[in-house]
Amino acid sequence: MSIKFNLLAILLFLFSFTSAQNNLPLIYANSTSVDILEGGKIKKEAWTISPDIKPDIYITEISNNKITFYTDIDSISFNVSTNGVYDFIIVLNHKDSAYTKIKYHDSNLAVLKTSGSYSNKSYPSIPPFSYLDSSDNNLKSLRKAFNLDSIAGTGNDANRIINLMHWIHYLVPHDGQHDNPVIRNAMSMINECKAGNRGLNCRGLATVLNECYLSLGIKSRFVTCMPKDTNDTECHVINMVFANDLNKWIWIDPTNDAYIMNENGDLLSIQEVRERLISGKTLIVNPDANWNRRGTAVKEEYLFNYMAKNLFWFDCPINSKYDTETRAEGKKINYIRLFPEDCLIQKKPLQETLADKGTTFYSYKTTNADLFWAKP
């Protein structure tokens, strides 16, 4: 009896699903490529018809706008609102039906603009940031092994900082599909990448570059830039590097060979870029920014989409030093996390402890931006 009932329920569901689909608008296509008109701009070959995906969902981040799907022989338009869902069928080659859906989703930049402000609350229990001195033997060996003085050059601080970023970017490719080596210091990771013809993920690249800066006496940290969505495990790691002659931190991204400027060409910090994204002020990405030499880092995608998603909160080791994140029995690594004042993640305990392979990771949480972005 139970088996018959379950079978009947499945058949009724399939019938209702098929009936609903039969009532949807239809358009026809002989090619899988679709052009999309959105926000008054035509995007060529922006969509691929996929009958096997049911439904295949197109997400728009532009509210209250007209979207038109153009196949090679037909078209369909919808006036899309923020709370609407728009279903239709694309019939491919007069035989395959692709159930397609259009939905609105807030853009990453729109989400960032809702992040709220920071506070001036004091956190006396949080220790200050520290930076390993260039006289450290490991840093001295690193400096000598790769002739970093010559690579950095003899220009001002900003030029030396950028020269080192370019060098790492072209020396070690970005590989976001694999974990970094077990030994996570610059000397070991560079040599392992050379020997194994492999790359590093963004965390590995920022770690290597951080230690190279420290070896030359340049204060630097690697910063994990995190999204608001706690289910989104994709983040990005870049460097904040202090240029003494500018008396400020600057944004350095070795993965994309990128630094950011304002309309006057002044180099900007992570904090300043975030503030300008929220306020809509001018941001300029260096024209030679790129990913693995395959394409330039376009401002709209790199800043307004990708980094806007990942500038909601931040995480950074308190002690900027050599071999920071190599796991070892009994080792303890301290971090500070900066959250907007009303962020849900911040409302959890102000301290958090995790462990991995004998290493303890201890995180302090703060809403005080001045504490997190403090000059060395």
CB-hemisphere CA count at 13 Å for 247? 0
Distance in angstroms between the alpha carbons of the first and the last residue of the chain = 74
What's the whole-number average pLDDT of the chain? 90
Strands 260-261 and 284-285: antiparallel
Our CA angle for 300, 210, 207, nearest 5°, is: 80
Give per-residue pLDDT as tens, 53-91. 889 988 888 888 899 999 999 999 999 998 889 999 999
Q: What is the pLDDT of residue 15?
A: 43
pLDDT tens per residue, range 237-254: 999 999 999 999 999 999
Note the CATH architecture for domain 129-312: Roll (3.10)
| Closest-CA residue to 228 (of 182, 260, 176, 274) | 274
The whole-number pLDDT of residue 262 equals 94
Q: Domain spans of the chain?
A: 24-105, 129-312
pLDDT at 276: 95
d(C-alpha 250, C-alpha 159), whole Å: 12
Structural tokens at position 55: 């439904």
Q: How far is CA 139 from CA 129, 131, 366, in A?
A: 19, 12, 31
Query: Sign of the CA dihedral 38, 41, 42, 46?
Result: negative
Concatenated DSSP letters of 226-272: E-S-TT----EEEEEEEETTTTEEEEEBTTTTB-EE-TT--B--HHH
Parts of the chain with a pLDDT under 70: 1-22, 344-348, 350-351
The torsion angles phi and psi of 149, rounded to 5 degrees, stand at: -60, -40
